[in-house]
Amino acid sequence: MYIQCTQALRKKIDSKEEDLFKGEVYQHYPNSLRAWHGNLIRYNGKQSVVLMNDETRYGVLLFGMKAKDFKKMDELIFEGIRVALEMEGVRPEVIDEYLQVDKGVVYGKTKNRSMVAKFNSTTRGLQMSHRALEEDRIVQRSLSRLESRYPAGHGGYPYALLLTNLHAFDPYKKKSVIETPLYQLKIQLELEGHAIYRRVAVPALFTFRQLHKIIQVTFDWQDSHLHLFEIQNTEEKPIQILMDNEPETLSHFNEETHEIKIENTTFLQDVFTQYNQVQYTYDYGDNWVHNIELEKITMSNQLEGEYLGGAGERPPEDVGGESGFNEYLAAIKDAKDPDHERMKDWAKSQKQKPMDSEELNRRIRWIF
């Protein structure tokens, strides 16, 4: 792996001028994909290293580096890139072929001002994805995936270019470099006398934040209220997966009685490998409880969710919970009810909009 370092990073890893490689190690495709730039930055107040792939502008972050960590820089570079590719669903044998760890790391100077400008743009993209930061980890799992979903200066998406180019390193020349577990989930609204559910397929590598967005899309909720994921049937403390780790949010939950996780940094595979039932509550006032059941696991060569089907129209937003929903249904059914016309007019902006499978899946594909 060829890492072209800024002066700040070279000083930190104690790389002498005479030790640097002069020229370009990887000039020709596909080996040119093994060339990266590296820089030392402050990220969330801590020393961190940003790596950017020269060919694709795909970025990787090593967070909260201490003096002892810079002494094993080579190891962390390989681990950081490996984890980023794993979180894209890339097959292990493709990653191994691409990294060629046994050949080590070669360091050099940054290529030119143009490349440094591109590098700065990638760094800003990683900083914008700070909500996915895992403060207890050097090697980040989600930041690369989020940052790479925005178009770069070359007009393409870094993740798409990276995955396309990685085909050159596939020892088995399969159709896709991706192979990842896909969870089939049945999401049923807990509402007596009503069968309202959605069935979706979601990559195991998705976070609970992504699952939240998929639920909102498939039920056509308006995402205008608070929500919470919970796992009750645990051997130890029940688990609560919160929207965020803001002090105001955390103040409403008790770490003594529950294990607290954050949805942006909790992956489906972290939970569904142990439990097959999760509860999702949307709108603490109306209290819409959704039971999520893991039905089966398949393999996929795409890292995206899919709507598989469902039944029932969900209650109108802000209808007043289960009792309010029943009152609403009674008024809508009875044309003589004094609230009939008012309810019909009110429901136009609150009820579920009709969407077919194609439209739902188009929206789900934009969840990353």
Last residue of a domain, one of 106, 138, 169: 169
Would you say 98 and 166 are in contact if contact means Cβ atoms under 8 Å apart?
yes
Would you say 159 and 87 are in contact if contact means Cβ atoms under 8 Å apart?
no
Encode pLDDT of 215-245 as tens digits.
999 999 999 999 999 999 888 899 999 999 9
Residues 43 and 164 in one domain: yes
Predicted confidence at residue 19, as pLDDT, reads 78
Inside any domain, residue 342: no
Predicted confidence at residue 155, as pLDDT, reads 74
Residues 21 and 165 in one domain: yes
Inside any domain, residue 334: no
Dihedral sign for Cα atoms in the order 240, 205, 290, 231: negative
Residues 98 and 234 in one domain: no
Encode pLDDT of 32-66 as tens digits.
999 999 999 999 999 999 999 999 999 999 999 99
Q: Domain tally for the chain?
A: 2
Residues 103 and 210 in one domain: no
Encode pLDDT of 246-262 as tens digits.
999 999 999 999 999 99
Inside any domain, residue 33: yes
Angle, helix 208-219 to helix 357-364, in steps of 10 degrees: 150
Inside any domain, residue 344: no
Residues 250 and 162 in one domain: no
Residues 356 and 214 in one domain: yes
Residues 198 and 132 in one domain: no
**CATH value at residue 21:** 3.30.420
**CATH value at residue 291:** 3.10.290.30
Inside any domain, residue 27: yes
Structure tokens at 102: 């046994």
Inside any domain, residue 20: yes
Last residue of a domain, one of 140, 169, 198: 169
Last residue of a domain, one of 169, 199, 221: 169
Inside any domain, residue 289: yes
List, as one string, the DSSP characters of 188-240: EE--TT---EEEEEEETTSBHHHHHHHHHHHHT----S-EEEEE---SSS-EE
Residues 136 and 195 in one domain: no
Residues 290 and 145 in one domain: no
pTM over 0.85: yes
Predicted confidence at residue 120, as pLDDT, reads 86
Residues 66 and 157 in one domain: yes
Residue 226, domain extent: 180-314+352-364
Residues 209 and 86 in one domain: no
Residues 9 and 153 in one domain: yes
Compute the average pLDDT of residues 188-193: 96
